[in-house]
Amino acid sequence: MKNNKKIAFGTLLLGAVSTGVYLWKNRNKNKKINFRTVPRFQLNKFLGRWYEIARIENNSLMTNCLARYIQEEDGNLKVIYSGFDKKKKRWKKIEGKLKIENEQTGKLKVSFHTFLYSPYNIVDIDENYENALIAGKNHDFLWLISREKEISDKTKSRFLAKAIDLGYDISRLSWTSQVPIEN
Confidence band, pLDDT 50/70/90 cuts, at residue 24? very low
For residue 94, give the nearest of 121, 75, 67, 55 by alpha carbon.
67
For residue 52, give the nearest of 83, 23, 25, 74 by alpha carbon.
83
pLDDT at 115: 81
Q: 93-115, pLDDT tens digit by residue?
A: 999 999 999 878 899 999 998 78
Residues whose CB falls within 8 Å of the CB of residue 61, separated by 6 or more in sequence, listed in order: 85, 86, 87
pLDDT at 23: 45
More confident residue, 58 or 44: 44
pLDDT at 176: 92
Provide the CATH number for the domain formed by 43-175 in this structure: 2.40.128.20
pLDDT at 31: 66
Average pLDDT along the chain? 86
Tell me if 135 sits within 8 A of 56, measured CB to CB: no
Q: How far apart are CA 76 and CA 103, in angstroms?
A: 14
Q: What is the tally of helices (H) and strands (E) in the chain?
A: 3, 9
For residue 108, give the nearest of 129, 128, 122 by alpha carbon.
122
pLDDT at 114: 77
More confident residue, 113 or 52: 52
Q: How far apart are CA 93 and CA 80, in angstroms?
A: 7
